[in-house]
Amino acid sequence: MNIYVSNLSFAIEDEDLKSYFAEYGEVTSAKVITDKYTGRSKGFGFVEMSDDEAAQKAIAELDGATADGRTIKVSVAKPREEKRSKPAYSNNRW
């Protein structure tokens, strides 16, 4: 389950985000999006959890919660574009 988290404080980093969600289940990865060039936080991030219901519970519990003085927004993330998947048109017509 991929989780999108926004409205984060700029002081929050990956391990902070992970520690918040780890209370509700196993966090396989947690990442705060930082600018590649300046290295500063963009104020949002992504968390991946292995247990789907733990993830949805974490979303329900952490959405609107306060982290570092900011009310964070948590929701299910949109899937990152997968370019490795096999083509849907796997016919041999052409």
Residues that bind DNA (CB under 7 A): 2, 4, 6-10, 31, 33, 36, 38, 40-44, 46, 48, 70, 75-80
Residue whose CB is less far from DNA, 24 or 46: 46
The pair of three-digit structure tokens given for residue 50, joined into one six-digit string: 């292995």
Q: Check if the beta carbon of residue 34 is closer than 8 Å to that of residue 42.
A: yes
CB atoms within 10 A of CB 49: 24
Q: Check if the beta carbon of residue 49 is closer than 8 Å to that of residue 25.
A: yes
How many residues in the chain? 94
Residue whose CB is less far from DNA, 29 or 93: 29
Residue whose CB is less far from DNA, 45 or 91: 45
**Minimum gap (Å) between residue 93 Cβ and DNA:** 31
Query: 71 has which bridge partners?
Result: 66
**Minimum gap (Å) between residue 80 Cβ and DNA:** 4
